Structure 1
Amino acid sequence: MARPRRIVLVRHGESVGNADDTVYEREPDHALGLTAAGLAQAAETGTRLRELFGGERVSVYVSPYRRTHETLRAFRLDPALVRVREEPRLREQDWGNWQDGDDVRLQKSYRDAYGHFFYRFAQGESGADVYDRVGAFLESLHRSFEAPDHPPNVLLVTHGLTMRLFCMRWFHWSVAEFESLSNPGNGETRTLRLCEDGRYRLDRPFERWRTPEPYGTTG
């Protein structure tokens, strides 16, 4: 088994929807591209990634959304060193349809009260649903490590919520821990590094917006 030395998670650059949330009323979420600022963020992140990877090979998995593909292209990674696969399981939390602004604000208020992990949008997904598909992807990812020539680097180009849920699944964080964490900023990275003891550790934590509130004790 050839486990990678690092697994890098990247949130896409600023999208049109990040800059103006009314666009969701007339454009599908998956079709929204990057703003000029988002392209600049992605290009800056790409510079850091090229320095990090050097001349090493990289196995890349990218969400099927337009903004993640545009982010990946802006990285300008050497095509001779990367293997790119589109991975639908790394997509954003689905709303399931076009979004009405007033309804979105109402549902988000419900989600804040109910819990970001368990609340399911009326026509879309809950955080728990995203967690399940991220878990299925992780099973596929671990099987890929069985190849003796697996690249020493893995790069996931995805979304903020998906990044947090990936780490929740990998590090076995509790629901309370997940719900205390904020999304990374656009173009931000988090890296799981393989340490000498054989464990992966996160290079830096996600910011907290509150102290975790456990639901109870186990045992």
Structure 2
Amino acid sequence: MARPRRIVLVRHGESTGNVDDTVYEREPDHALRLTDRGRGQAEETGERLRALFGREHVSVYISPYRRTHDTFRAFRLDPGLVRVREEPRLREQDWGNWQDRDDVRVQKANRDAYGHFFYRFAQGESGADVYDRVGAFLESLHRSFADPDHPENVLLVTHGLTMRLFCMRWFHWPVAEFESLSNPGNGEIRVLELCEDGRYRLDRPFDRWRTPEPYGVTG
């Protein structure tokens, strides 16, 4: 089994929806473009990635959203060193078709009170739903490691919530831990690095917006 040296998670650059939530009333979530600032963020992230990977090969998985594809293109990675696949299971949490801004704001307030993992948007998904499809993707990813020629690096270009849930699933974090974490900023990177003991270590933690309040059975 050829496990990669690094699994790199990247959040897309700033999109029009990050600066104006009324855009969801006019454009599909999956079709939103990067802002000029978002393109600049993606280009800066690309510089860091090129320095990180050097001349090593990279297996790339991209959310099917336009903003993640545009983010990846701005990285300008060497086409001869990457193999790229669109991966729908890495998409953003579905909030449900066209969105009414005021209704979504109410639902987001309810989600904050109810819990981001369990709250389900009226026409969309809960965090738990995203966790399940991220888990299904992880099973496929692990199977790919059986290839003795698997690249030294894996790169996932995705969304903030999906990044947190990927790490929750990988490191077996409890729900309370997930609920305490903030999304990374646009263009931010997190790296899972393979250590000598055969385990992966997260290069730096996610910011916290509160202290976790664990409950239930642990061990």
Query: Quick check: 1:133 aligned with 2:137?
Result: no
Equivalent residue, structure 2, for 1:206: 206
Equivalent residue, structure 2, for 1:83: 83
Equivalent residue, structure 2, for 1:94: 94
Equivalent residue, structure 2, for 1:35: 35
The CA deviation string for residues 24-50 of structure 1, in whole angstroms up to 9 with x for no partner, is 011100000100000000000000000
- Report the TM-score, using the length of structure 1 for normalisation: 0.99
RMSD of aligned alpha carbons: 0.8
> How far apart, CA to CA, are the structure 2 residues paired with 1:177 and 1:127?
13
The CA deviation string for residues 28-86 of structure 1, in whole angstroms up to 9 with x for no partner, is 00000100000000000000000100000000000000000000000000000000000
**What letter is aligned with 2:64?**
P
> How far apart, CA to CA, are the structure 1 residues paired with 2:61 and 2:188?
16
Equivalent residue, structure 2, for 1:165: 165
Q: Percent identity?
A: 87
**What letter is aligned with 1:76?**
R
**What letter is aligned with 2:127?**
G
> How far apart, CA to CA, are the structure 2 residues paired with 1:73 and 1:127?
28
How many residues are aligned here? 219
Q: Deviation at 1:214?
A: 1.2
Equivalent residue, structure 2, for 1:14: 14
> How far apart, CA to CA, are the structure 2 residues paired with 1:200 and 1:122?
36
> How far apart, CA to CA, are the structure 2 residues paired with 1:218 and 1:12?
34
The CA deviation string for residues 100-136 of structure 1, in whole angstroms up to 9 with x for no partner, is 0110111011101110000000000000000000000
Equivalent residue, structure 2, for 1:72: 72
Equivalent residue, structure 1, for 2:112: 112
**What letter is aligned with 1:93?**
Q
Matched position secondary structure for 1:84:
strand
Equivalent residue, structure 2, for 1:3: 3
> How far apart, CA to CA, are the structure 2 residues paired with 1:182 and 1:209?
6
Worse-matched range after superposition: 159-168 or 209-218: 209-218
**What letter is aligned with 1:211?**
T
Structure 2 alignment gaps of length 5 or more: none
Matched position secondary structure for 1:157:
strand
Q: Deviation at 1:173?
A: 0.1
**What letter is aligned with 1:47?**
E
CA distance 1:5–1:26, shift in 2 (3 Å)? same
Matched position secondary structure for 1:61:
strand
Matched position secondary structure for 1:9:
strand
Matched position secondary structure for 1:176:
helix
> How far apart, CA to CA, are the structure 1 residues paired with 2:177 and 2:114?
15
Matched position secondary structure for 2:10:
strand
Q: Deviation at 1:216?
A: 3.0
**What letter is aligned with 2:192?**
L
**What letter is aligned with 1:74?**
A
Structure 1 alignment gaps of length 5 or more: none
Equivalent residue, structure 1, for 2:53: 53
> How far apart, CA to CA, are the structure 2 residues paired with 1:159 and 1:118?
18
**What letter is aligned with 2:34?**
L
